[in-house]
């Protein structure tokens, strides 16, 4: 059984394409071998969505997960700016940095790290960037 989100996406595509019930069920039968969207599995739901896209349906892009950037005090602004720049370069959100803070220090948000922890987080992000080839070695 597929998730509710995928099921909703299929029904939105059906209505946006203006498919009749017979046409819709014919597409399901042809692409996935089922007569109802509830019978779809994670394996064959992609084929149905791909067929809808081939017919002209354009899914809306997913919203980016994330939150507003923290507003650090002046003493931490430079380190936070560096972290923000590395996140932007890696196309990651502040939620990624919050996850690192949770994993490394058991603190929910980057904003709540002390100076030493913030420095270590930045160093970990530099190491990750070097591994991914996004950070010059001579800096």
Beta strands in the chain (DSSP E): none
Is the model's pLDDT at 131 over the cut of 70? yes
**Confidence grade of residue 96 (pLDDT, cut at 50, 70, 90):** very high
Q: For the chain, which residues make up each domain, given as ranges?
A: 4-54, 74-131
Neighbours of 46 (CB within 10 A): 13
User: What value does the mean pLDDT of the chain take?
Assistant: 89
CA–CA gap between residue 115 and residue 42 (Å, rounded): 45
pLDDT at 2: 86
Return d(Cα 92, Cα 110) in angstroms, integer: 14
Output phi, psi for 97, to 5 deg: -65, -35
Closest to 126 in 3D by CA, of 96, 82, 88, 91? 82
Hunting for tokens 């692409």 — which residue is that?
A: 31
Taking only the tens place, the pLDDT of each residue in 64-92 is 666 788 888 888 899 999 999 999 999 89
What's 33's DSSP letter?
S
Q: Say what the pLDDT of residue 64 is.
A: 62
Res 66: pLDDT:
66
Predicted confidence band at 108 (pLDDT cuts at 50, 70, 90)?
A: very high
């Amino acid at each position: 059984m597929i998730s509710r989100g995928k099921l909703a996406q299929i029904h939105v595509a059906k209505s946006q394409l203006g498919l009749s019930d017979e046409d819709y069920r014919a597409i399901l039968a042809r692409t996935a071998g089922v007569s109802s969207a509830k019978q779809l599995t994670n394996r064959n739901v992609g084929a149905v969505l791909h067929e809808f896209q081939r017919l002209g349906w354009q899914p809306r892009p997913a919203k980016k997960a994330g939150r507003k950037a923290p507003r650090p005090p002046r003493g931490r602004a430079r380190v936070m700016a560096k972290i923000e720049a590395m996140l932007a370069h890696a196309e990651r959100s502040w939620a990624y940095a919050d996850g690192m803070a949770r994993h490394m220090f058991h603190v929910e948000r980057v904003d709540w790290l002390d100076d030493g922890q913030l420095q270590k987080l930045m160093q970990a992000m530099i190491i990750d960037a070097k591994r991914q080839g996004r950070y010059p070695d001579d800096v």
